[in-house]
Structure 1
Amino acid sequence: MSAPANPAEPILRIESVAKSFGPVKAVDNVSLDIRENEFFALLGPSGCGKTTLLRMLAGFESPGAGRILLEGRDISPLPPEKRPLNLMFQSYALFPHMTVRQNLSYGLEMERLGKGEIRRRVDETMAMTDLTSFADRKPDQLSGGQKQRVALARALVKRPKVLLLDEPLGALDKKLRERMQLELKRMQHEAGITFIIVTHDQEEALVMADRMAILKDGRLLQVGAPEDVYERPADRFVANFIGVMNFIDGAVASDGVFEAEGLRLAVVDATPGPATLAVRPENIALGPPGERLAGTIADIAYHGLDRVLHVRTAAAEALMQVRVPASGAGDWRIGDALSLKIDPAKCRLFQ
């Protein structure tokens, strides 16, 4: 496993970068520090600017403003082939007439490395990516997961300072995608290379990333470790985008109590006025009618180890979701009345 990076010395620094296409601001004054040997995720909905930002890092787009520094050097003016970064596309773009070994060797041959060095690096990279037994196969003889590993190996064999991945798992089915998430994380640590991945899949980012950045409409909303972003979202958009969140609109009274229809909850560091309470489904406890927020079960969804109860209450316009262990949900039925116990310490308040 690679040594922990020094957060004071980022390998890649994005300084006030902006990019517009006509009247549309694709990237709007984004600044980021990305550390050495870090697995960093750019996350957001379609059109948020994450792919445009990645293409600027790779050199396929030029910033309209700002700078991109790699190890302190401004690489903004450099063309893609002059940058020590590699971009792995979702389509993989493998050479169909070449074997796995030839696909990996091609880029090194273009760099005019010696045959012995090429063979050593290709063998080493195939071993890391579990491709040794497929060395003589061509892409049409490989599964989707094997093709994905070849594309990754072809990028890694050139030993870039930073590897850029644009939705690299998007073409895989769910089960293979989940397995490859862990494989990517393992290979990143073994290679000791900074990975920057673009994805719209929040679960993918939560599983793989050391840190993540959430973008919307070209603007950077929050940067942090997955657990920080999940537990302490910066605003309502981030709270709604990352995971499942219940929202209760109400107001904070002069005594510091959040009030909504049927709910009174003492909150901390809140100012009187309109407010929205946000709470995760797993942070709501159930009780019999008569305690706290009253509700009625409108639906029950089975998720294997747990069930999600969809509860209708007077406090929230949408059905509230409550996640409970499957073993403890057997007594609940659609139409049952219950109450929701909400711990203010496990909520976020947006004003």
Structure 2
Amino acid sequence: HKLNKILKLEVKNAEVTGSNAEELSALLRFYQSYHDTVLEVQGHFERSVSDFESAEAVHALESHRRVMGETHNVLKNYQMFNDSIARIDKLSRVCSYAARLRSMQAGWDCFETFDASHFHGAVRELIADGAPLRAFDVQCLMERNSEGVQLAVEDAGNRFDLQESIDESLTVIRRLLVAGEEAALLKQIKSHAERISSLLNLVATGQQARDGAAALEQLDRANRALATWHQATSDYERVNALMDTPTIAKSLEPFAPKVQRARIALDKLRDATTGSTSICDFISDGMLVGQIDEAVANIRAIDEGIAAIVRGAHRRFPALLRYSDHELLEMIGSTDASNPTTCSVHLQQLFGQWKGLVPDHERSGVFLGVEGSS
């Protein structure tokens, strides 16, 4: 009923636009034929069960053993097919891989030659042969090319190639990494993760689904890790800009090693992910996350040190509040404690009473050239 409603609407739209009406009509005929087949076999099963106590029913159960075996597969596969119909709109948008049916009859060269009887027989043979009937690529059926819609033949049956999708995703990711386009990369990862998620919804449980779920989880970790990396890079550039001001660089000189380590971590990360190994391999090994964590930790330590300087100065000397953090750091960096004439009154007081400003763990190594500091 759901497919009927969807396809009738699509056929109506197709008639208005003059495109795809034949394909959609044929698809609708196929589904109706398949549905009739399911009801027919299901009817055998239900009648046999309802009359189970009669001798005739016992004989029927025996003679229809194979039919009931088929029924199990029919109902199971019918549910999978029905589930795929609920996602027909997703299929047409996100699935670019043809889910191919194995060839069960001659003359299946192109969609235009199909009719209900072909589908009817093929579905029965497909089920009897034990091959799973999964959702096929509706986009392929709806978008006719100049040669007609071709259904390729594969021994493996009609399965979505998740690995191909994953490999393509990683190729795009690595290309963007080489180009250094982090913002575009995050969008691409989200897009590919959503597409693989949609594909996973269309396959039955089993190794393929488990492999696909693992790949999706890996992409999700990449998404989070790269978002952090992007933020760490932005924070590093902010801190590095401070270091480009000579007087501020002097006041922040004790933090220079941390700035350098953050830069090294980010450089290592970029070098690693532009090599021959995919980004997901690094995430699996914990290497990528470790590099990001190292960069973030160093930048956080720098920010906390700057905050300690400013907080301590403001707490002890409220008059310094009129200066911005940037100005305060410049004044500290331009102050020579050995030559008080170059200091403002406030900064002379600040240096003279530095030990009482902030706790030791915040004060250590912050001011160069001041007694008691490293």
Alignment TM-score, normalising by the size of structure 2: 0.23
User: TM-score scaled by structure 1?
Assistant: 0.24
Asked which structure has the greater CA Rg, the reply is: 2
Which structure dedicates a bigger proportion of its chain to helix?
Answer: 2
Q: Which structure ranks higher in relative contact order (CA pairs < 8 Å, sequence separation ≥ 6)? A: 1
